[in-house]
Amino acid sequence: MAKRFELIVFDWDGTLMDSTGAIVASIQAAATDLGIEPPTDERASHIIGLGLIDALRHALPDLPSERYQDVALRYRQHYMARDHDLLLFDGAAALIEELTAAGHILAVATGKTRKGLDRAFEVSGLGPRFQSSRCADECHSKPHPQMLEELMDEFGVEPELTLMIGDTTHDLLMARNAGVAALGVAYGAHPREALEAEAPLYCAANVAELAAWLRQQA
């Protein structure tokens, strides 16, 4: 069967790596360290996928902007203390191998920094499977379409041949803004009903469902 999508772009946290809990706990711990009222689980998980400063602006709306860097530093310290314990979702590595074997171009568009993504690539062992990636400290934060636009330009792939996969509405809105199709995954940061409100092609309950859809439809 001919490929429907030539370029498949994955979000990282909450889509391939089971890191939502660690991110939420690290944001809350950073706020507590600095005597700031920590955000609720719901508020902290909603900002996953954004660049860190944009995320803090949403998670801690009453925080003076001059304190963002202090919170960001404490967040990174807490998260880095946990990240070697983080695991890929069951089936994620096999899915990436299958898509690679099928000849798709694979890329990552993430709210992580370049340093953070490189570290995640190394810990997970998946780095060599992705031909390119874009991070929040290199591009506008999601849902701005810059990450996807740059990836499509890099490989000369048209929007109609590009698919974005992510666990947040930020991912789905970025895809819409770039004019590309999107899949939601309901096992990450944002609830299914929020993802489905953005009308993705499909919303998978787990990696096995995601793999089955891609096998038949991508």
Kindly give, in sequence order, each residue whose CB lies less than 8 Å from that of residue 181, ignoring residues fewer than 6 positions away. 5, 160, 162, 163, 164, 175, 200, 201
Would residue 90 show up in a list of annotated catalytic residues for this protein?
no
The radius of gyration computed from the CA coordinates of the chain, to the nearest angstrom, equals 17
111: three-class secondary structure by DSSP: coil
Output phi, psi for 78, to 5 deg.
-65, -45
Cα angle value 19/126/180 (rounded, 5°)? 75
Distance between CA 218 and CA 175 in Å, rounded? 16
Is residue 167 annotated as a catalytic residue, yes or no? no
Q: Name the active-site residue from 13, 54, 83, 171.
A: 13
Contact 45, 51 (CB under 8 A): no
Which residues are designated catalytic?
A: 11, 13
